Structure formats: C-alpha cells, structure tokens
A and B are shown apart, each in its own frame.
Chain A
C-alpha cells in the first residue's frame, strides 16, 4: 500500500517489470514428479489465475513461489532476485487455504491477526508502532472489515475470515498477492464480494495477483492471464486465447460445461 503503485495503463506487456519469473522449474516429492519444466513470467499488474485438476501441482507451484518449498530443478526469481537470496518478503502477500490457516477456538481478535501481517516488515525485536497499526487499520478498511476489528476471529463466517486473511496479507503493503484456493467454503454472495475486492486491488492499487483455484469458470472471467497446469504448463495466456485454443476444454474434458455455462 505504501509502496504499491500501478504503472500507466498504456504500458505494454514487454515494458512492465517482471515480478516473478520461473525458469524450467521442476519439483519432485519423494521421487514422484509433481511439476515438470514450468517456465512462467508474471509481470507487474497481472492478474494470473492458476487452474488445473486435483493433483495438477497448482498449490505446489504457489508454495514454491512464496518460498515455502524449494524447487528440485530450475530457478525462481522474485523482483529480479534469486528467491534463495530474496529478503524483501514484505513485498509478497500470501493468503493460505483457509482450512489449514487456523483453529477456530484460537483467542485472537481480528485486529491482532491483521497487524501480525506486519511482523516481518516491522523487523525482529521491534515492537509495533503507530505506522504498523495504521497500516493494519487501512487494510481492514480495504477489505470492508473495519467494523469487526475487535471481534474474535473464530466467531466470523468463512467469507469474513477470508477477508481478514486478505487484510493480514495486505497489511505489509505487498506488490504481489498470492492466494491459494481462497473461495473454498465461502458462500456465493461472499464470493462475489471477494472477486470485486480482487478487481479493486488489481485495478486501483495496481497489486499483482496470483490466484490458485479449481473454479475454472469464475476464474476465467476474472483474470487477465490464465495458466493451465497439469504437472506441466499446458497453457499460458489470456482467458480468451485459452477458450479459442481449446486448452481449457482439453484440460477439463469432462468439466468443460463449466466454462461453457459461464460464457
């Protein structure tokens, strides 16, 4: 938020800075290949949807991008730096799958959770300052959850919790926000709110977004870039091209009605 500024809309793809760059990335889990030769360039201002069937490696790819997993092969660069040397993690926001994120009886208020997103940025052995607390308040405002700041996190609905986790990720002012299956367990109304929030972050704040989802139809409507994954990168381009090339239908032969239904 302090640092994220969108470049003029007129800039062409080639001019926009590479935010994340994967070069021939592979990942094996206990000898089984999960990802093979993935090369993918994410530019500032992109809204990339990573879709693929179960077991296609999309969550693995996201975890590699945020440094939770080390690739077995290939190279990952974030903001131009090799991920192994990357230290500016406040430029990255991560929203994990809700189910793994927390325990509902955890005693913490919404605000405590959101401001914890500033921990890395504030630095080790430093206390939170007013700057941190203001940033957390603004992040809560952005996701429309300011009225809930003193509520216990476990008492909120799934959709509200999800927005709190987005606020936590936004609190450090990230330029790149990565979300893992964010709409699982969230009701349709909250989903619509959620996507309109993402549109706003992407268009107004210029935040680069990467969204992993199995919800092909909705994602294809929302994003500007689509990556279809099935252990290898089957397709990377705009959603329109994906439709034309038949890549979506090929990937989800049995589910292709989902795409047709939305268009």
Chain B
C-alpha cells in the first residue's frame, strides 16, 4: 500500500473526496445548463451560517448546516418562482444574507475558531468517521434521486415549458433539485470549504460541456474530470503539503484550461 493510503485520515479524505467528486458534477451539469450556477455559492454561504449556529449552540455543525441550507434552498426557489425578483437578485440576497448571519453569530461566539475556519476553506484531512458516514449517506441520496428522476430533470433542463405541457410536475422537481443542491453543498463544504464549493459543482460541468455533444456524455465527462481533480488534488496536497480544497479546485481549473487550449488549436 502506498504511504499516502496508510493513514486513516487519508483514507477518509479519499473516501469523502470521491463521494463529493461523484455528486457535485452531476448536480453541477443541471445547474450550469439552467443558468443557476450561482445557486451553489449562495447556499454555501447559508450553510456557513448553519455551521456557525451549530458551533455556537454546541450541536453537530453539519446538522445545523443541513437544516438551514435546505430552508435556504426552499426560500430561493420560492422567490425565483414567484417572479418578484430576478433569479440572480434572489441568489445575491441569500449569499450575502448567509454570510451576514455567519459573521454575526461568529462575533457572538467570540470570534473565529479553528473549527469554523475549516468549514470556510475545507479540511478534508480532518474528516471524522462520523462525518464520513454522513457524507456517504447524503451522497447516496443525491445519486439515487438523480438516477430516478434523470429523464424528467433532462426534459425540464432542456425546455421547462414543454416539460410542463407533458404533465411533468415541474415545480415540485425544481424544488427537489434545489434541495439536492443544498445537500451537495453541505457535503462539499467539509471537503473544499464553503468558499470553493461552487467551483466543484460548476467547473467540471463547464469542462464537459466543451467536449461532449450528448447530455449523457456531458455527465460522464464531468464525473471523470471531477474525480480526476479530487484524486490529483488530495494526492498533491499530501506530498506537497498544500491545502487540499484549493489543490482540488486548481486541478479542476487545469483540466478546464486544457480543453480550452485543445479546442482552440483544433
């Protein structure tokens, strides 16, 4: 066994990284194609507020994050559907609102702690066995839901009105998708941190869209890019002693840049 896999914390890091590496790009493809890329960032900031509340209350931080992020997801979707605000304005309000709550609660708790910092920038090597089971469990929920609703989610993503005319419950499924984004964000936050969560959803999807002509192919390539970035990022963080979250996102950007170069040459 290579040295990197001999440590329990690295085994957990890879397991958690691979779990998020599977669900983030799948959800990301739907978000990018629906022009909702920013929703992940907004919810990540709401999740941060949830973590802060959880730490202040002395409960399990990810539980607080999950509850608050799901509520935030429902709120965003409601605002978006009501049409009273442009989609992006709703997202911006939740993004800054989440951060504002987080900052206030942090102040009440007496300032930044190491723990909170790890949720901001990710701390994949600090994933505890309990975290890992939660991450894998939530990951299975996301994968199973997308697999079960794949054809409906495609129909809605491609043409929401025609999907409605087919009798597909569009509003309900939009809410489900937003809920899945919330879950994915909470899981990703542990790995790459709240500030880099959006990148993990969006960059592999954007890379794949440049390479594939089919939707199924786009999902497959996004998965491959994401897993490559996660494994390369965690490995390099171990040997080069750099931050894993940043390394993963940089690897994803490197892959994206590669496709830009290749495509512009051909």
Given the known inter-chain contacts A107-B212, A107-B214, A152-B213, please indicate yes or no for A87 contacting B165, CB distance below 8 A: no
Chain A positions within 8 Å of B263 at CB level: none
- The answer, among A101, A116, A124, A169, for a CB contact under 8 Å with B169, is A124
Q: In whole angstroms, what is the CA distance A34 to B165 when docked?
A: 22
Do the beta carbons of A107 and B215 come within 8 Å of each other?
yes
Do the beta carbons of A107 and B217 come within 8 Å of each other?
yes
Q: In whole angstroms, what is the CA distance A100 to B159 when docked?
A: 9
Chain B positions within 8 Å of A92 at CB level: 165
Q: Is there a chain B Cβ closer than 8 Å to A258's Cβ?
A: no
Chain A, residues 105-135, CB within 8 Å of chain B (1/0): the string is: 1111100110011111110110110000000
Q: Is there a chain A Cβ closer than 8 Å to B79's Cβ?
A: no
Q: Residues of B within 8 Å of A, CB-based: how many? A: 28
Chain A interface: which size bin? 35 or more
Q: Is there a chain B Cβ closer than 8 Å to A90's Cβ?
A: yes
Chain A, residues 56-93, CB within 8 Å of chain B (1/0): the string is: 00000000001110000000000000000001011010
- The answer, among A112, A120, A122, for a CB contact under 8 Å with B216, is A112
Shortest CB distance B199–A (Å): 20
Chain B positions within 8 Å of A47 at CB level: none
Q: In whole angstroms, what is the CA distance A113 to B163 when docked?
A: 11
Q: In whole angstroms, what is the CA distance A121 to B33 when docked?
A: 24
Q: In whole angstroms, what is the CA distance A152 to B216 when docked?
A: 12
- The answer, among A105, A122, A152, for a CB contact under 8 Å with B151, is A122
Q: Is there a chain B Cβ closer than 8 Å to A96's Cβ?
A: yes
Q: In whole angstroms, what is the CA distance A120 to B156 when docked?
A: 11
Do the beta carbons of B33 and A106 come within 8 Å of each other?
yes
Do the beta carbons of B162 and A94 come within 8 Å of each other?
yes
Chain A positions within 8 Å of B151 at CB level: 116, 118-119, 122, 127-128
Given the known inter-chain contacts A112-B215, A116-B154, please indicate yes or no for A105 contacting B209, CB distance below 8 A: yes
Do the beta carbons of A112 and B212 come within 8 Å of each other?
no
- The answer, among B158, B168, B169, B208, for a CB contact under 8 Å with A102, is B158
Chain B, residues 186-220, CB within 8 Å of chain A (1/0): the string is: 00000000000000000000001100111111100
Do the beta carbons of B158 and A116 come within 8 Å of each other?
yes
Q: In whole angstroms, what is the CA distance A120 to B151 when docked?
A: 9
- The answer, among B150, B155, B161, for a CB contact under 8 Å with A68, is B161
Given the known inter-chain contacts A67-B164, A92-B165, A107-B209, please indicate yes or no for A102 contacting B159, CB distance below 8 A: yes
Closest to A118 in B: B151
Q: Is there a chain A Cβ closer than 8 Å to B148's Cβ?
A: yes
Do the beta carbons of B166 and A119 come within 8 Å of each other?
yes
Chain B positions within 8 Å of A67 at CB level: 164-165
Pairs of residues from A and B, 5 with the lowest C-beta to C-beta distance, nearest first: A120-B166, A89-B167, A152-B213, A94-B165, A119-B155
The 9 sampled A-B contact pairs (Cβ below 8 Å) are: A107-B218, A109-B213, A109-B214, A112-B216, A116-B158, A117-B166, A124-B169, A125-B149, A150-B213
List residues of A whose CB falls within 8 A of some B CB: 66-68, 87, 89-90, 92, 94, 96, 100-103, 105-109, 112-113, 116-122, 124-125, 127-128, 150-152, 155, 168-169, 172
